[in-house]
Amino acid sequence: MNSARREVRLSRAGKVFVAFTLAIGFAAVNTGNNILFLLVSLMLAIMILSGMAAMVNLWHIELHMPAGQLLSAHQPAALQIELRNERSWGAWLLELQMGSARARWPYLRAGDTVRISLPWTAQERGQPPLPELLLGSSFPFAFVWRGRYRAIPRADWPWVAPAPGRWEALAQADNAEGARLDPGAGGQGDLLYLRPREEREPLQRVLWRRSVWQDPTSGLGPYLPVVERERDGDEELWILDWDALALAALNREERLQVLRAGLDLAVAQGRPWSLRLPGFAMNGRGSLGQLRALEALARQRPWPEYPPAERRQGVSRWSRSAAWWRGTRAS
C-alpha cells in the first residue's frame, strides 16, 4: 500500500479487539483447544473483512468544491465541500478531515450529493493552497479506519480577500488625491448611463426593455442593464483609490488592506463608493457590488509567497526501513 496516499489506523475498539484476539490465540496454542483455534480464525477473518469493507466503502466517492466561494484572510470561515456518490449502492460512516477539522456523514445514498462545511482560516490573500483532504471510513465494525488523501484542483480553490487594515491611513489625509470624498454616481438624478446589474441588487431597477437573453448553455447568462443616475447633492462618494497619495508609503498588501477597510466601512454606512485598482474600476452603493469588489481585491497580482500546504501523513516503519535501504544503496 502506498503510504503517501492512504492512511490506516485502528480505533480504540479495534485495539481492544486485537489484544483480545492475541490473548485467545495464546490460550489456544498453550491448550491445543480446537474451539479456541476456530474462534481466533473467526476473529482474524472479522478484522480482515472490516478493513476490506472500509476500503470498498470509499470507492467512487468523489470530492468537489462549489465554485464562487469567497473568504477573508485571518478570519474563520466555513469551507463548503461536496461529497458525491457515483456508484449504485450507498456509503456509510464517511468522515472528511482537513488538518484538525473534521466532519462526519452517516449515510450517503447511491447517486446522491451532500454538502459538508469544514472550518478553515486562510492566512494569505489571493488563492492560497488548500491542505489535502482525507476521506475515510470505519465501516462496518468501527475496528479499522481507512482513509485516502484527495487533492482539490487549483482551479476550484476559493479566492481570499485581504483582511481589513488601518482605514485611518486613507481617511485622515486632508485633501489628498484619492482620499477625499467627491461627488459621484448612484443617486436619483439625471440619467448617466446603463450598467450591468450587480449581485443582490433589486430586480425593480432592471431596465427590462434592454435586457439580452442569451443561450443558457453558453454559460454567459442574461444581460440585465440597470439605469445609473446622478446622485443627490447631499450625498458623498467614497473614493477608494490605489494611487492615493496617502498610500504611497505602503506596500502592496498594506494598500489592499486599507482599501478593504474603507470598503467595509462604506458598506456598513450604506454610502456610495468607487473602487479604483490597477486595471479595474467599479462603482457601488452599500452592499451592491461588494462581492465583486472583494474578488477584485483578492485577484490583484502578484500574490504573496504562500507557505506549503499542510498534510497529515503518518510514516510507517516499513516506509522508514525502505527509505534507509535506498539511502544505503545510493551511498
Grid cell, residue 101, equals 477539522
Instruction: Give residue 109's pLDDT.
Output: 93
Each residue's pLDDT, cut to its tens digit, for the chain (331 residues) gives 444 477 888 888 888 888 999 999 999 999 988 999 999 999 999 888 888 888 888 889 999 999 889 999 999 999 999 999 999 999 998 999 988 889 999 999 999 999 999 999 999 999 999 888 999 988 888 788 888 888 888 888 999 999 998 776 565 443 334 434 334 445 556 666 777 877 667 777 788 888 887 655 555 567 888 887 765 555 677 888 898 888 888 899 999 999 999 999 989 888 888 899 998 888 888 888 899 999 999 999 998 888 776 654 444 444 444 444 444 444 4
CA gap 290, 287 in Å, rounded: 5
Sequence-separated (6 or more) residues with CB below 8 Å from residue 242: 178, 255, 259, 276, 277, 278
CA gap 241, 278 in Å, rounded: 9
Instruction: Give residue 213's pLDDT.
Output: 74
Find where cell 450517503 sits.
108
Instruction: Give residue 203's pLDDT.
Output: 78
Residue by residue, DSSP assigns 242-291 as TT-GGGTTS-HHHHHHHHHHHHHHHHHHT-EEEEEETTEEEEEETTBTHH
Instruction: Give residue 324's pLDDT.
Output: 41
Instruction: Give residue 178's pLDDT.
Output: 40
Helix intervals (H) in the chain: 12-31, 34-56, 168-171, 252-269, 290-299, 317-330
CA gap 74, 80 in Å, rounded: 18
The phi, psi pair for 92, rounded to 5°, reads -120, 150
